[in-house]
Amino acid sequence: MYALFTHSKRVDKVHGIDFIVNFVRLVKPPQNQPFMKFIVSSAELLKRLSNINGVITTNPVVPILENFLFEISDGLLTITASDLQTSMITEIDVEAKEDGSIAVPARILMDTLKNLPEQPVTFSIDKETYSVEINSDNGRYKLAGENATDFPKVPDVTDAYSVDLSTDVLSSAINNSIFATSNDELRPAMTGVYVKLDDTNTTFVATDGHRLVRYRRVDVATDSGMSIIIPRKALNLLKSTLPSENSNVVMEYNASNAYFHFNNIKMICRLIDERFPDYENVIPSENPIEMSIDRNEFLGSLKRISIYANKTTHQIRLKITGSELTISAEDLDFSNEAKETLACEHEGEDLEIGFNAKFLVEMLTNLHSKSITLQMSAPNRAGLIVPAEKDENEDILMLVMPVMLNNY
């Protein structure tokens, strides 16, 4: 009995040790792999990086923002670029066994991919030293990455309103407004485009204090009743990234951020938290003098005459008499002068008024109608430019302030 009991106890003890050893083997977590690898098409990766590279600035406030953030999860590579104010995100499928993240220097990576022929490339990342090695058919390239945890977090757009619009509409709104924004950082509200979203239409407004553009769409509406100011840089990035083929763009926004999502690209930008000028009161309602003219003829003449204008003021003179428009300019410092006469349709009194030729050229370039109407009231009051032919869903108005002529 004693021997049997002792043997049984020993067996139990041995079995217990085996159980503990096996249990430890089962529950012991696998050692972290020191390397993370993935394979991706060089051309596809370059295409995705090029879409978001514009947001990266040279010598950013936070040095890590000179990098792309790479994050791999379940064979999907998410790439983020940011300047703190604006972040752009894109995704691409890769061949990867491990998940992980790394910050990769943007400029050297872009330059490398631009000079590689299209081929699969293998990225090997050391998780301890953050070194990145790229292997291609041509050779290998090693660069120093950074810890992904140091990369600033992209803000979430919570409690947001949402509106859908096409890339054609968004592109048209940006093109017709962004050129009139201000570069004056002392007036931050004017450095972006004001967007008013109503249940009947959406209005885009830009001004620099000398000119103003109001672009309205009746086919984009939401019941939010909010108004936001989107920074110029964010809109320029959108403009260069929007696809040429017409597709849907989801725009979400709250009081502090706006979020745009189209195809495989996302952009989040911080809104300008300033009060926009009361632009409606600036637009004159009574304009008894109207001149209608072929847009291309007017634009061509302005471009030629402006060559002879003063390079500081860009002043040109418009003299409307009957059915003739005389455009002239002079630069007294160099004894340069030029004059042209065009046919036009004119209603109201004769008028002589001065404008900045640079502003007129930019406005007429961004319009696409065959002819335009210039509405005026006096030599010292703003002039309005409206297209003669309009799309049924859009309404566009451009305002330009006059310049004082010498003979006033």
The string of pLDDT tens digits covering residues 205-229 is 999 999 999 999 999 999 888 999 9
DSSP tag of 146: B
How far is the CA of 179 from the CAs of 121, 138, 176, 244, 398, in angstroms?
41, 45, 7, 20, 11
CB 288 within 8 A of CB 377: yes
DSSP tag of 148: G
Q: What is the mean pLDDT of each run of 10 residues along the chain (408 residues)?
A: 38 46 45 79 96 94 96 96 97 94 97 96 95 94 96 90 94 95 95 95 96 95 91 96 93 95 95 95 94 97 96 95 95 90 96 96 95 96 94 94 78
3-state SS class at 374:
strand
Q: What is the secondary structure of 45-110 as a DSSP string?
A: HHHHHHHHGGG--SS-SSGGGGEEEEEEETTEEEEEEE-SSEEEEEEEE-EESS-EEEEEEHHHHH
What's residue 224's pLDDT? Answer: 84
pTM metric for this prediction: 0.86
Nearest to 372 by CA among 386, 390, 392, 356: 386
Distance CA 101, CA 161 (A): 31
- Specify the residue for token string 């660069």: 143
Residues constituting the chain: 408
Q: Sheet holding 336-343: strands in order across?
A: 336-343, 324-331, 315-321, 351-356
Compute CA 252 distance to the chain's CA centroid, rounded to the nearest angstrom: 15
Tokens in use for 90? Answer: 């894109």
Q: What are 311-340's pLDDT values in tens digits?
A: 999 999 999 999 999 999 999 888 899 999
Q: What is the secondary structure of 226-294 as a DSSP string?
A: -EEEEEHHHHHHHHHHS-SS--EEEEEE-SSEEEEEETTEEEEEEPP-SPPP-GGGGS-S---EEEEEE
Based on C-alpha coordinates, what's the Rg of the chain? 31
Tokens in use for 404? Answer: 């004082």
Beta strands in 308-408 (DSSP E): 315-321, 324-331, 336-343, 345-347, 351-356, 371-376, 383-387, 394-400
- Specify the residue for token string 């930008």: 269
Backbone angles phi, psi at 227, to 5 degrees: -130, 140
